[in-house]
Amino acid sequence: MISDVPPLGLETVDLLLSIAESPKMAISGVALDGFYKKIGSVLVDAGAVKPDGFEEVAVSQADHDDAAVSLVWSSELGGYASFSPAIGLSRIDDDRLRRYKLDFSWFLRWLARHLGFGPRAQSVCLIADRLWDLGDIWLGTTKRMRRRTSVYFARRLTEPETITQMATALRIHRTRAGKVILTTSKDLALVKMIIDDTCAILRVDTCARAGVESFELDPEIIYSAVHGLNVSRKKLSVQADADFRVIRIGDREFRFLGSKHRQVVGFLYQRWVKDEGPISTALMFEELGWSETKRLRDLFKGHASWRQLVGCENGACWLRCDEILAEGGDTAGSAT
């Protein structure tokens, strides 16, 4: 449990997510008191929902069989009242007329803290009232498995116009790898038809940690959905021939003719497949048995595009497959 996030039960979170998904992110006092009395008070006490004016209609409890009736102000009764032919004006309790609105900044902070963002993290609204960029976090249970993950929150994903705008916004963010959209929408059929499978879309309620009384987000569920997707994408998008003469990444092709060139590429390719990350260049040379080789740029001298495929920085090197996939370019690299 995160110390500065109020613990909310699963039923309370269901109500919270339902309010967040509703058109005006609001709920009437009648509903809050009548249907959700216990859990509704929890949201009010936590500051999740706050009073936001009064309803203009109420449900008659006199002779209208629970029909909605208009309200009038009665100075004689000292408040709002409804009229019934049977009993005349009857006073309506203010709490039943009160409307409560979700404090959306509270909601975003609550969600962000469950994801592991710090208290100073700031979300950015990308589509008014519909899509927010919560930022990047690192997910993964071990150092080797940790992956940068870009998190968005969206609501009202049954609206075609919202989905179209969201697809446009995500294209602008296409270089960010490991994207996930968390949402309060329950029907995801339409959005999954339009947003391609390079971006995971998850309902917040399906990411709850099992076996606990209070709601907690399970980062492993998000990790599996996002980076499991990336693994399958890698298998489809990156291809190498048996002796590493040709490496194809999406629409780009890299060719290597020299024996040592192919050994380096093959060595780094195997590390990339195993998600082992960068390695010390000196250690790689040692493992390849090249005691006299000191620098990659000397080894690849004469190859015009090797730096497009092989990353090299601060004495370490790696294969840039992930970066190239994120760039989405189509320029080929070849040996000279």
CB-based contact 161:26 (threshold 8 Å): no
Mean pLDDT of the chain: 82
Mean pLDDT in residue range 132-159:
91
Q: Which range, 17-26, 172-181, 317-326, has the best average confidence (pLDDT)?
A: 17-26
- Provide the percentage of residues in the chain whose pLDDT is more than 70: 79
Helix (H) or strand (E) run with residue 279 in it = strand 279-280
Find where tokens 């976090």 sit: 137
DSSP assignments along 89-118, one per residue: EEE--HHHHEEEEE-HHHHHHHHHHHHT--
pLDDT at 184: 97
* Structure tokens belonging to residue 31: 């509903």
Quote the pLDDT of residue 163: 94
Under 8 Å between Cβ of 197 and 212: no
Q: In this structure, are strands 26-28 and 68-70 parallel, antiparallel, or unpaired? A: unpaired
Supply 216's token pair: 């907690």
- For residue 150, the SS3 value is strand
Q: Which amino acid is at 331?
A: T
Q: What is the pLDDT of residues 230-280, one digit of tens each?
A: 555 555 678 887 778 889 888 889 999 888 999 999 999 888 877 788 999
Model confidence at 123: pLDDT above 90? yes
Tell me the two tokens of residue 173.
Answer: 């963010």
* Per-residue model confidence (pLDDT) at position 229: 55
pLDDT at residue number 178: 87
Measured distance CA(316)–CA(309) in Å, rounded: 14
Q: Is the pLDDT of residue 138 over 70?
A: yes
The listed range with the strongest mean pLDDT (42-51, 89-98, 122-131, 133-142) is 122-131
Cα–Cα–Cα angle for 191, 204, 140, nearest 5°?
105
CB atoms within 10 A of CB 299: 20
The answer to whether 277 and 144 are in contact (CB under 8 A) is yes
Radius of gyration of the chain measured on its C-alpha atoms: 28
Q: For 162-195, write each residue's pLDDT tens digit.
A: 999 999 999 888 888 789 999 999 999 999 888 8
